[in-house]
Amino acid sequence: MVGGENNGAIETSVKETTIPAAEEIAPPETTQATEETTSDTTAETKPKVTEVTYIDGILIANKTYALPEDYNPGVNQTAKRAFDEMQAAASREGLNIYISSGFRSYEYQAGLYNRYVQNHGKAEADRFSARPGHSEHQTGLAFDLNTIDDSFAATAEGKWVAEHCHEYGFIIRYPEGKEHITGYLYEPWHIRYLGVDTATKVYNSGKTLEEYLGITSEYDE
């Protein structure tokens, strides 16, 4: 997702475009808490999210399903190893793919999103940046690759990733022409780890993750 990775792994600043699994991953433990209210970045009062959501064993973070503010797993090491294998395979073909942005905390995403709102307005920012708690990067299972720009799709690396990433357990999370379903503009650089079996099924279906699971991605406003 358009706008950073830590946990001793990868954390970089991200250049943003201004176009204005699960079967292999054991679900991390979550902390139960008493539901209360809190103010989000839009100054609205909503019930505090206290649990993560798994659908068919897949951790979901989109506009409909949020993550708790204190959910801070860092980079998922299974996903990172899968990326390393994919990177090595691409390198053997003379291609260079790398992670530009990985795990982001709730707080990091809040700062990022608020900056976009200030620069572009809320409606436009919502098309290419997730509100805090709704970013896949907070799951530790998503990576932005190389140049964070639509032009990545036309590069040799971008074409290779689109064709082969499912073989390593990833999908292109926000496909072209699917903004009305995923809630976000086309992002050829954003990959999400699901595990090889699930990623291959999603890839072969030609569907977005939302379509594959039969879920929505819409903010509750």
Judge whether 135 lies within some domain: yes
| pLDDT at position 48 | 87
Asked about 221 being catalytic, the answer comes back as: no
Give the mean pLDDT of 110-121. 98
Q: Which residues form the domain of 84? A: 45-213
| pLDDT at position 3 | 52
pLDDT at 10 over 70: no
Q: Residue 107 belongs to a domain with what CATH number?
A: 3.30.1380.10
Judge whether 177 lies within some domain: yes
Judge whether 12 lies within some domain: no
| pLDDT at position 221 | 79
The tally of domains found in the chain comes to 1
Judge whether 160 lies within some domain: yes
pLDDT at 152 over 60: yes
Judge whether 22 lies within some domain: no
Span of 40-49, 106-115, 173-182 with lowest mean pLDDT: 40-49
| pLDDT at position 1 | 63
pLDDT at 35 over 70: no
Percent over 70 (pLDDT), the chain: 80
CA 139 to mean position of chain CA atoms: 8
Residue 13 has which token pair? 């600043």
Judge whether 35 lies within some domain: no
Provide the 3-class DSSP secondary structure of residue 111. helix
Decide if 46 contacts 40 (C-beta within 8 A). yes
| pLDDT at position 140 | 99
Could you say which of 187, 211, 218, 221 is catalytic? 187
Angle at 82 between CA 15 and CA 152, to 5 degrees: 35
| pLDDT at position 2 | 56
Element (H, E) at 198: helix 196-205
Judge whether 38 lies within some domain: no
Among residues 106, 122, 124, the alpha carbon closest in space to that of 114 is found at: 122
| pLDDT at position 45 | 59
Decide if 37 contacts 43 (C-beta within 8 A). no
Residue 108 has which token pair? 């990091």
Give the mean pLDDT of 137-158. 98
Judge whether 186 lies within some domain: yes
| Radius of gyration from C-alpha coordinates of the chain | 16
Residue 38 has which token pair? 């809190």
